[in-house]
A and B are shown apart, each in its own frame.
Chain A
Amino acid sequence: GDSVTQMEGPVTLSEEAFLTINCTYTATGYPSLFWYVQYPGEGLQLLLKATKADDKGSNKGFEATYRKETTSFHLEKGSVQVSDSAVYFCALWNGDKIIFGKGTRLHILP
């Protein structure tokens, strides 16, 4: 079945460091891809999305590019802030339902 695999955390970085969280997917057809973020005590929020190959989603300084050839959708940010500390979920929509990865916890140290 369709699935999403993302790097295990926690990921700990210093403020202003470069961030990459890896995500790969398995799906039949051409899914839409998403990154969601969950802050402590809250539900998930949509961070960015890409609906077709080579699309780049971006929001709040975060970016991810839909790479069909490598079935990947890695999340990047050039300079992280303490306020970016959260759990990040990669997800896909396969035409039937949303499938989430297990999440990656990110800690940013001041």
Chain B
Amino acid sequence: DAGVIQSPRHEVTEMGQEVTLRCKPISGHNSLFWYRQTMMRGLELLIYFNNNVPIDDSGMPEDRFSAKMPNASFSTLKIQPSEPRDSAVYFCASSPGPSRVGEAFFGQGTRLTVV
């Protein structure tokens, strides 16, 4: 089991550019979460999907952020245009479903720096 795979591991971009973060969840998991982690705000839930359907996106900071899950094995988080305050570590996590609710398996994260 390869675990949750995120790419890229590090991203440095200029303000105003589009950024796309990618996630491959663990096969068979039916929930997927995107989190953002900063020193100031800690771990914030941005959006989560159940069976590829977005359930709660109330944590998405503003319209510049969007997330998609076109199939069970892939999700993207896009920021357009990016701003320096978006600099953070972004984590994707997947969860196996009703029998193990609350158990989330995290990827290693993407460290985003917007200059």
Contacts and interface: CB of A to CB of B under 8 A. Distances in A.
Contacts of B42: 100, 102-103
A32 interface: yes
Contacts of A100: 42-43, 45
Interface in B91-107: 91, 93, 95, 101-107
Which of A43, A46, A95, A96 gathers the greatest number of chain B CB atoms within 10 Å?
A43
Given A93-B102, A102-B43, 20 more contacts: A32-B101, A36-B104, A42-B106, A42-B108, A43-B91, A43-B106, A43-B109, A45-B106, A89-B43, A91-B102, A92-B102, A93-B101, A97-B48, A98-B95, A98-B102, A99-B45, A100-B42, A102-B42, A103-B42, A103-B43
A49 B103 contact: yes
A97 B102 CA distance: 7
Contacts of A88: none
A84 B104 CA distance: 21
A34 interface: yes
B33 interface: yes
A44 B102 contact: no
Contacts of A44: 43, 91, 93, 104, 106
Contacts of A45: 106
Interface residues of B, number: 19
A29 interface: no
Interface extent on A, as a size class? 20 to 34
B4 interface: yes
A105 to B, nearest CB: 11
A49 B102 contact: yes
A41 interface: yes
B56 interface: yes
A46 B103 CA distance: 7
A100 B108 CA distance: 18
7 contacts: A32-B102, A34-B103, A46-B103, A49-B103, A92-B102, A93-B101, A97-B45
